[in-house]
Structures are given as C-alpha cells and as structure tokens.
Structure 1
C-alpha cells in the first residue's frame, strides 16, 4: 500500500473500500511524525554548533529509524488483519449454526485486528519520547518540525486507541479485553501528556525567540 503514491492512498482511504482505514491511516500519520523528528536529526548532525550532541543524535536516529520502519509495516499489517474481520462481519447469520460460525470467526479475527492498532499505539509512544530528545538536542532552526512531528504522533496514538476500542467493544474474552483496554488507555494517557509537554515547549520557544 505504501508503494503507491500519496494520491492513490488518499483515494483508497476516501473510498468505500474497508482498507485502508483508521488504523492504517494512524500508522501512516505516526510514521510521518517520526520522519519529521528524524529530519531534524539529519539537519543537526554534522553541525559544529551541536557537536556535543552528535553521538546522542546518531543513536537517536538509529532508534527512530526502527520505529519508522515498524509503523510503515503496520500500515500494511492493519489492512491485512482487517480483511478477515470484514469478511466475518459479512457472513450469514440466519440459522443457529450460521450464527455460531459467524461469532467464532468474528472473535478469532478480532484478536489480530485489535493487537495491530495496540502495537501502533506502543510505537507512537516511543516516537513521542524520541521527539523530546530532538527538541532538546536538535537544531533550533527546525524546532517547529519537532512540534509538528510530535503532534502527528499524538494524533496517531489517539487514532490507534479508537481502533483498539471499537474492536474490544465486541470482544467476549473479558480477561483479554480488560488487559488490552488497560494498556491502550495507559499508553494514550502517558503519551498524550508527554506530547503536549513537548509541543508546548516548542511553541514557547517559538513565541519567545
């Protein structure tokens, strides 16, 4: 999906096709946010003024690259795991046997369809914390891009949370449902708080420069 152009992706996203959807779009937005942080790192590395942070930024770039690649993978993965869920929703449910078969297929497909946006949320939380370091050590000429990047990651995190919750809403395994919901709410709370701190730090620096 990411091999196609942005226009093709947006055309598919706006169509009635079940994929890509909110989960894939969240991963894509998160990937863009992480890429913006990395751009700031690349603009800083090699600059004499920031030489004291050179090694830290090289290590940060390596860690950020792993998150970027993971989020790009999750754009594709979200589409892949949603298709069985979409198919299960469309199964006939007239007879008792059909209803039983549909419910089993639905509950099975729900697991992977929930775990992928949960992983997107985890990646976005990591990406947000990386932006904190980019804000501290990156070139001030591109500090606005840190702000844009971190707010993208926050939006992606919240989007991933919604995609988790729409699936756990009909999950019958209460133990698994509760465990997943606890984690995603915690990720969203911690990640959003951090993202807003970083964003307001950037905004403050721009307002007082």
Structure 2
C-alpha cells in the first residue's frame, strides 16, 4: 500500500473497498506530520544562530524520520489487521471457534491504531520543541505538522474504539480505551498549543510589518 503514489493511495482510499480505510489514512496523515517535523529541523540544522541546538536538531531529524517510517509501515499493518477481522467474521456462525477467532482478531486489530496514536504523540513532542527555536518562516510548517498529527491521533482513536466496542473482554477493552483517553487528553491540547503559538507569532509579525 505505501509504495503507491499519492494519487493511487487517494484513489484506493476512495474506492468501494475496506482497505485502506480510516486507520491507514490516519497513519499516512501522521507520517506527513512527522515528515514536516524532519523538514523543519533539516532547514534549521547548520544555521550559525542555532549552533547551540545542533545536537537537538540532529536528534529531531533522526527521531522524526524513524516515526515517519513507523507510521508508513502502520498503513500496511492496519490493512493486515483488518483482514484478520474480516476473515474471523466470515467464519460460519455455527462454528464453535468463531467467537474466539473474532475476539483474537479484534485484539490484533486494535494494535495498529494504538501504535499510530503513540507515534503521533512522539511527533507532537518533537514539533513542540521546534516551535520555540525554528525560523518564523517555518512556524507554519511546524503548526501544520502538529495539526496533521492531532488529526491522525483523533482518527486512530476512532479506529481503536470500533474494535474495543466489539470485544467480549470488557476489562481489556476498557483499559485500552482509558489509555487512549489519556493520550488524547495530553497530546491534543499540546498540538493545538503549537498551532496557536505559530499563529500568534505570525500575526504579531504582521502587526509590526
């Protein structure tokens, strides 16, 4: 899936087929957010005024590239997890193994979107650091990256919920849902604060222009 062009991926997403779906789209959006993070850090790397931040920028590039790779891999991982769920629900209703197969598939299917949420949180943290050190001309890119990661975070959470809602093991489902609520509670406001900071700085610059 991830080897397709942007156009091909969008066309596949629009097609009357289950994958790629919301989970894959979330992973791809998060990967774009992480890519913007790496781009900003690369533009700032080597600037004389930011010499003191050279180690931090190198780390940001390294980690953002790794997050992007993880999220792109999760596009395919999410599709594979959906295939397991689809196959489990296709088992005849009279088969005594059907409930257990469905439950096992749901437990697997919840992993990719949960990992997407965790990866997006890591990207938001990197973007947060860059938002206070990067060039004003790059702030809009930092803000865009944060908003893409926030959208991916929210979208992945929906994909988690659609799977936990069908689990028979309600204690396990509740535990996952609570972890997701914690992730959203911490990282949504932090992503929004990055965008708000970028807008504030840009508007302040306009007022003095």
Equivalent residue for 1:151, pick from 144, 147, 152:
147
1:1-209 aligned within 5 A: 1-93=1-93, 97-98=94-95, 100-209=96-205
Please say which of residues 158-167 and 175-184 is displaced more in the overlay: 175-184
**Shift of residue 91 of structure 1?**
3.2
Unaligned runs of 5+ in 1: none
Output the TM-score relative to the length of structure 2.
Answer: 0.94
Output the TM-score relative to the length of structure 1.
Answer: 0.94
Cα-to-partner distance string for 1:26-52 (whole Å, 9 max, x where unaligned): 000000001001111111111122222
**Shift of residue 111 of structure 1?**
0.6
CA distance in 2: counterparts of 1:140 and 1:55, whole angstroms? 20
CA distance in 2: counterparts of 1:6 and 1:64, whole angstroms? 20
SS at match of 2:168: coil
Q: Which runs of 4+ in 1 moved over 6 A?
A: none
SS at match of 1:208: helix
CA distance in 1: counterparts of 2:42 and 2:166, whole angstroms? 44
Aligned residues: 205
Provide the alpha-carbon RMSD of the alignment: 1.2
Unaligned runs of 5+ in 2: none
